[in-house]
Amino acid sequence: MKKIFSVKVITLFPDSFPGTLGLGVIGKAFKNKLWKLQTIDIRSFGKGNHNKVDDTTAGGGPGMILKADVLSGAIDKSLKNIKDKKKMPIIYLSPRGKPLTQSKVKKLSKNDGIILLCGRYEGVDQRALDKYKIEEVSLGDFILAGGEIAAQATLEAIIRLIPGVLGDSESLNNESFSSDLLEYPQYTRPRMWKNIEIPQVLNSGNHKKIDAWRKDMSKKLTKKNRPDLWEKHKKKQDIK
């Protein structure tokens, strides 16, 4: 029996999910049971009469921190009935984490599933991260109010790689970052639009020339927009 990719999201806002993940091909894959979703409400593990989930920063400082004793209850619930925890990694969406790359996304998509911890306020108690050996991952050098949007973006990147979700494996191979190069420009009909014509080579029918043009454009775009990726590509290809 084929395994269903299991997604568990630990969050203060469970109603945020599936959100955009319920739309398009990702939503269709959800309906077709290629992946499943469980949200775990941090608030349900809060302390006291008001289900308190956060407290002031130890040592002083602005903002509030999600409590370790609260998070542990939510994390333990997410780990319940998981036989092989190595195939169900826990990731905390954090601006101080390692950048999420396409290579990392591919590795994550090969697991049985994933558990995502969505932070809020000024972050979470470090002890919870250390206790459960939670990996920190960042979507970029910017700050969000919480991890829910970052979690949805991460999940979409992963789920679309699950076999059967997109259906066209060739399109995955030609995408940006597949070879440390950005994807070439794409066009469709009409051939002429506002006096701007589709590059003639794409209408030539000469697939060898089309492939060469696309590779050349990918290189030019990468050099211009992502010199860091271009340097990485050059090292792999031994390009002078």
* Distance separating alpha carbons of residues 54 and 45, to the nearest angstrom: 11
pLDDT of residue 2: 76
Contact 55, 64 (CB under 8 A): yes
The predicted pLDDT at position 3 comes to 85
Residue owning tokens 């454009």: 217
The pLDDT value given to residue 187: 96
What integer pLDDT is reported at residue 179 of this predicted model?
A: 77
DSSP code of residue 100: P
Q: How far apart are CA 144 and CA 23, in angstroms?
A: 23
Q: Which pair of structure tokens corresponds to residue 64?
A: 């509030």
Q: CATH says 174-237 is which class?
A: mainly alpha
Bridge pairing between strands 196-197 and 192-193: antiparallel
**Which pLDDT score is estimated for 237?**
84
Q: Per-domain residue ranges for the chain?
A: 5-159, 174-237
Q: Please count the helices (runs of H) and the strands (runs of E) in the chain.
A: 8, 9
Q: Which CATH number fits the domain 5-159, given the four candidates 3.40.50.10490, 1.10.443.10, 3.40.1280.10, 3.40.50.1000?
A: 3.40.1280.10
Bond from prior residue into 190 cis (ω within 30 degrees of 0): yes
Predicted TM-score (pTM) of this structure: 0.90
Q: Residue 172: what pLDDT? A: 65
- Kindly give the confidence (pLDDT) of every residue in the chain, 240 residues in length, as a single tens digit, with 9 standing for 90 and above: 678 999 999 999 999 999 999 999 999 999 999 999 999 999 999 999 999 999 999 999 999 999 999 999 999 999 999 989 999 999 999 999 999 999 999 999 999 999 999 999 999 999 999 999 999 999 999 999 999 999 999 999 999 999 999 976 656 666 667 678 999 999 999 999 999 999 999 999 999 999 999 999 999 999 999 999 999 999 888 755
